[in-house]
Amino acid sequence: MDSKLKKLIFLIAVVAITGLVEAKQEALPTPLDLETALSFAKDHPRTRLSLEQQLISPPAQSLFLNCHNLSFNNTNETDRQRNSVFANNLITPVEQQKLFILQYFFDVLLADSSMIGINEDMAGAYIAYDRAKTRQEFKQYSELRVAKLEAEYQDVLQQRFSGEASQRLSRSQLAHAINHPNDLSSDLNPPSLIKAIKELPDSEEIISNALKNNRWLKELEKNNNKDQIALIKMNLRQQILELVLRLNVLNAAVTRAESESYSRDLDLEMSRSLYEMEVKASLGRSMTLQSKARMQEERINYCVTLAWAQLNALQGQDILTQPQVKKEPSE
């Protein structure tokens, strides 16, 4: 039988089996929590496909995280593969699917956070435009000034439509990742995150743990020749090194984001005080900047968790295992 025909028959069978599974699925809980979302990984059809078969329908890129770019922001080009969870063929298919779910779960949360700033922008732009129209009636504002404010409002309004589309798209990606393509979760429970630690383990220590405890790697060693195994181990070392370097940069980013958020909080409090004294009427701008600072802080914390989740998976651990903090030697 022709190999293409075999592949087609296999995919038709997978679709048929998936349809039977979906028919029996119960509705997702509301709000959806991360633990429940991860529990669906083992039943996803992607976990039963070879790498070659998975390439027919590759997973979608994340919309908001961009963790590699966030860490290596002085590189020349965006690396779409490294901005995704890229441990293909080094961990079990189920663990790989869990990483995709984790990534898309964070994307939904960031899509919602993005809308907070957009809505604040829109409210401020509309108020400015509406007031300008009133003043134009009393010949206090020119037609040009009102037209500019209307253009600014229409620009933010378009951003709102884009934000709403991102909310729906991110939820669709999560729904497909948990094998519930027709169930778009309206609400998610914010998960407990893996906290950044200052003293990161050496990459060689993690590599040693991975070579020792990664059961999937041992399966690969049984089914590949020595040159293939050598390349697999090179890939393992490279991925671990990149993740450790990423965490080093993200540690600095966490401190910077916390400082920025604190600064914006103080600025907002000052703006509120001035607003109440009718000295300043640009409270909305301060609220928007605060929301954007908090969203960036969230993104960095999600990227920290995702990097540790990948390192955990490579070492044969549960992906949400908290890293061990090195104890100071007793005097």
Q: How many domains in the chain?
A: 1
pTM, two decimals, is 0.83
Cis before 323 (ω within 30): no
Domain-embedded: residue 82:
yes
Residues 6+ apart with CB under 8 A from 12: none
Domain-embedded: residue 52:
no
Domain-embedded: residue 294:
yes
Q: How far apart are the first and last CA of the chain?
A: 72
Q: What is the pLDDT at residue 81?
A: 66
Q: What is the pLDDT at residue 22?
A: 44
Domain-embedded: residue 124:
yes
Domain-embedded: residue 64:
yes
Q: What parts of the chain have a pLDDT lower than 70?
A: 1-26, 74-81, 83, 86-88, 257, 262, 264-268, 270-285, 326-331
Question: Phi, psi at residue 96, to the nearest 5°?
Answer: -60, -45
Q: What is the pLDDT at residue 72?
A: 83
- Taking residue 211's Cβ as centre, other Cβ atoms within 10 Å add up to 15
pLDDT in tens, 173-222: 999 999 999 999 999 999 999 988 988 999 999 999 999 999 898 888 88
- Taking residue 190's Cβ as centre, other Cβ atoms within 10 Å add up to 12
Q: What is the pLDDT at residue 87?
A: 61
Domain that holds residue 136: 58-186+201-314
The answer to whether 257 and 297 are in contact (CB under 8 A) is: yes
> How does DSSP classify residue 46?
G
Q: Rounded distance, CA 292 to CA 282, Å?
A: 16
